Structure 1
Amino acid sequence: MPRDAEKARAALGSSVGVDLDWSSFRTIASLWGQYGFCARIRDRARQQSFVLKHISPPAPSTGSVSHERKLKSYLNELRFYRLYAKTITAETGLALPEPYFLSSTESLKSSGTFEATLLLSDLSESFPLRAPPHLPLDYALAGLRWLAQFHAFFWESDSESQGELAPIGSYWYLTTRWAEFEEIDTDEWPHFSREFAERLHNRLLGFPRGDLSLRKSYMEKGRSPSYQASAYDFQYTGYGYGAVDIAYLMTSSVSLATLQGQGESQLLDFYHDQLTHLLGHRCRGYDRSVLQLHYELALVDYVRFMAGWGLWGNSSWARHRVDEIMGIWSCDGGVRNDRNILHVLGGCTRAASRRFTVVAAVAGSGR
């Protein structure tokens, strides 16, 4: 039996409730930083496929912010599946993995090692099309449709006060990314001062999301011309602007051809139409201009992270868009003024400043 299978079998024990066929075990991915693995396995009776995720982190360096962030993200993922996954699917019809077994050995308050195991339904059986690395329009619309339903489910949720999910939904938020911030070349990125980064971070606090790249998804071709999306990997789901998910999706997954011309604006229009239709009267005040501001704040913040961590995805497009956004923010009667950028981050219109709390889906990669 492969070593990964031995680890997983020992972690599951005899209480899993599914008769797994261990001869079918196949490792399909390693978790970021060698924190564990994901595998596929079938049960004997129904030949149903499952995804088994086993987290067993390496020994951390003393006081490692990165290690603590990752462990918190895995505990967050466990909470998401325990508290929300089945309810979301039942109430919205969204495709998420169904949890069959969830366990963790210790909380972060304990000393010693941390391990966790998740046995989840395999979405690829019902959604056989793997999303391509550069999403064409139909795939992008399916992702935005999924996000609108997810955000509507959590719209202005009060769960944040109960500490059920991560207080900030993303893997790049500033308070755990100072090391990356210090790597920013300020000659190349003159706007990304410490004061700017802190104000931008504070402006984004208290509204949901996570890390949804549609590389973390499967698709199916519906009976209509459109595709239907599913999503998995919810480590970094938490509170924030739903637009954080949109900015991440645009930068990481949507094809450049889809974003060109009016493409970006049309995708935002589509998401806003989907969301407001689902929310009805609950979306009062969340007009298209508010979404635009939230999206621009989120896009600038993600590029701020990439400037120190490394550029990827549609980075040239994102950088160009951030230059445009910063140029608009800095204008005062036609004169560029960087202090105006800080003014924009310090306060916006009443509607734009209102807490449209949502849970961001940012599907976590374990970074």
Structure 2
Amino acid sequence: MLNKQIQNKICDVLGERHICNVESFKTVWSGFGSLQRMSFGPEQKSIVVKSISMPNQINHPKGWSSDFASKRKLKSYRVEQAFYRQYAMHLNVKTPRFLGFIENENTQYLLLSDLAQEGFHEIAEQSVFSVKQILLWLANFHAQNFGKCPEGLWHQGSYWHLATRPNEFNAMSHIALKESALELDIILQSCEYQTLIHGDAKIANFMQAGNCIVGYDFQYVGGGIGIIDVMLLLSSAFTSEQCFKYEEELLQYYKQAFLEACEGFSVTIANHVIDSWLALYPIAWADFSRFLDGWSPGHWKLHDYAWHQVEKALKLIA
């Protein structure tokens, strides 16, 4: 994707004179692009280029391919660009730095700082310690953005909420959950305490360097309640047994981290906010399980703990 013309444009944007190396190291979901590492000069200073374009053929791993889904995916990259341009530089949590943006014909190129060169690495060990560090990142992100209007972002953050998944909804087999889907969605949207959420806060979208955490992949950032990010993080990091074991410890850790972060951002109603969010934890799980039930019925995250939360949510709204 990075032909000579694009490489020259990138050099112009960054004020660099010579490219030493270009290496593709990751493909983007469903074939919508790739990530390249580009290095410059004798010191081999590097950046990451996220190249996005509509593929000729969409290779969705679960077989979900439609014009509706493709438009949602393309919009997600516009949202990510807006986040890095308008929000990231003002945050007190670590994200990749926005370095520039280029658009050429049907391809967009997002230029970001190279986290690996800054010493960050993937979180290979899904430990309670690492999850707590991410919860601290999320607590600060939610506190700093509390009450903000998601201008240029998704009005409703996350990739699985009901309005974005009509085909998956139609494919659901869990009748009670399907019948309650709209009510679950309304409850989450109507909570009076809204913030910005990452929207895809799985453990794979964070990197670590010692005690420092960096979050990336902000395609589904937008309005929502903080517990949605917390739920997705736990779902991605732990088995059913581990979720049962660590739930109380981790939710209390997030609560305390959020309350402390709110002190720094003068959120005077922090106790009311966090108590409201924690009460909706089963609702968030049920909403996510609704998506999984239609999207991938045999998914490993549809385990005993998930169904336990679904049952709690259905009782709450009965």
Residue number among 177, 183, 188 corresponding to 1:199 in the alignment = 183
SS of residue in 2 equivalent to 1:117: strand
Alignment-derived partner of residue 97 in structure 2: 98
Residue in structure 2 matched with residue 81 of structure 1 by the alignment: 84
CA distance in 1 between counterparts of 2:4 and 2:51 reads: 8
Aligned 8 A contact 1:299 1:318 in 2: no
- Of residues 205, 211, 214, the one that matches 2:200 is 211
Q: TM-score, normalised by structure 1?
A: 0.75
The number of residue pairs the alignment matches comes to 303
1:29-48 equivalences in 2 (<5 Å): 29-44=26-41, 46-48=43-45
Q: Kindly, what percent of the aligned residue pairs are identical? A: 25
CA distance in 2, matches of 1:50, 1:64: 32
Superimposed CA distance per residue, residues 292-331 of structure 1 (whole angstroms, 9 cap, x where no aligned partner)? 22222211111110001115454314433324414642xx
CA distance in 2, matches of 1:99, 1:306: 33
Check whether the contact 1:146–1:229 (CA below 8 A) recurs between aligned residues.
yes
* Distance in 2 of aligned mates of 1:84 and 1:219: 21
Contact 1:168 1:239 in 2 (8 A): yes
Q: Work out whether residues 171 and 295 of structure 2, in 8 Å CA contact, stay in contact via their aligned partners in 1.
A: yes
Question: CA separation in 2, counterparts of 1:172 and 1:324?
Answer: 20
Match of 1:240 among 220, 224, 227: 224
Instruction: Give CA deviations for 1:152-209 in whole Å, capped at 9, x if unaligned.
Output: 110111x33xx32110111111112010111111xxx231234x21121222226432
User: How large is the Cα RMSD of the aligned pairs?
Assistant: 2.6
1:269 aligns with 2:252: yes
Listed as ranges, the gaps of 5+ residues in structure 1 are: 106-112, 222-226, 330-339, 342-367
1:147-296 matched pairs, under 5 angstroms: 147-157=138-148, 159-160=149-150, 163-185=151-173, 189-194=174-179, 196-205=180-189, 207=194, 208-209=196-197, 210-221=199-210, 227-254=211-238, 258-261=242-245, 263-280=246-263, 282-284=267-269, 285-286=271-272, 288-296=274-282
User: Structure 1 residues 78-87 or 22-31, which shifts more?
Assistant: 22-31
1:181·1:305 contact (CA, 8 Å) conserved in 2?
Answer: yes
| 1:195-241 residue CA offsets vs partner (Å, 9 max, x unmatched) | x21121222226432111121121112xxxxx321111111000011
Higher relative contact order, structure no. (Cα contacts within 8 Å, ≥ 6 residues apart): 1
Q: Cα gap change, 1:328/1:7 in structure 2, threshold over 3 Å: closer, same or farther?
A: farther
- The alpha-carbon distance between structure 1 residues 288 and 235, as it changes in their structure 2 partners (threshold 3 A), is closer
TM-score w.r.t. the length of structure 2 is: 0.86
For residues 138-163 of structure 1, the C-alpha deviation after alignment (integer angstroms, 9 at most, x for no partner) is 11001101101111110111x33xx3
Residue aligned with 2:54, SS: coil
Aligned residue for 1:140? 131
Instruction: Identify if the C-alpha distance between structure 1 residues 264 and 6 changes in structure 2 by more than 3 Å, giving closer, same or farther.
Output: same
Structure 2 spans left out of the alignment, 5+ residues? 59-64
Do 1:77 and 1:235's aligned partners in 2 also have CA atoms closer than 8 Å? yes
CA distance in structure 2 between the partners assigned to 1:79 and 1:199 by the alignment:
31
